[in-house]
Amino acid sequence: MIHQYDEPVYLISVVAKILDIHPQTLRQYERENLICPSRSGGRIRMYSQRDIDKIKLILRLTRELGVNLAGVDIILRLKDNVDDMETEIAQLRHELQKSRNAHSVSPDKALVTKKSIYEMIIFED
């Protein structure tokens, strides 16, 4: 069975085993608001593949780069902001391309012509 990237399907014990970390580490990351796993009806933490990938990034930042959890929080927030901006830029580019393609009259045959930005006004004494 194939699961969606955001579908919460992994228990905390499974994620801890996959990542070779203690479940308390995952609970600490949740207390620090670095991750936010889904909860089942019985309040059991359920992790998605997206959550696991985020935890891998956190582990890399802390273990390999020596970043503390406060620094990880800042990095993750900045990463989210950059991702949001990249999405917005892609949408704006798409809208721009769409508006460029929507011209029924080619720009060289448009009714409005460009005038020189220079106009001469001569004042006489």
pLDDT digits 0-9 by tens, 94-104: 999 988 888 65
What is the predicted pLDDT for the residue at 109? 59
Q: What is the pLDDT, as a whole number, of residue 30?
A: 97
Report the pLDDT value the prediction gives residue 101, as an integer from 0 to 100: 85
Question: What pTM value is reported for the model?
Answer: 0.73
- Provide the pLDDT for residue 99: 87
Tens place of pLDDT for every residue, the chain, 125 residues?
788 999 999 999 999 999 999 999 999 999 999 999 999 988 999 999 999 999 999 999 999 999 999 999 999 999 999 999 999 999 999 999 988 888 655 655 555 555 656 665 566 66
For residue 123, what is the enclosing H or E element? none
Helix orientation angle between 49-59 and 23-31, rounded to the nearest 10 degrees: 90
DSSP assignment letter at 109: G
- Which pLDDT belongs to residue 3? 85
Q: Report all structural domains of the chain as residue ranges with CATH numbers, in order of start.
A: 10-103 (1.10.1660.10)
Position of tokens 């448009």?
110
Cα–Cα distance measured from residue 3 to residue 63, given in angstroms and rounded to the nearest whole number: 29
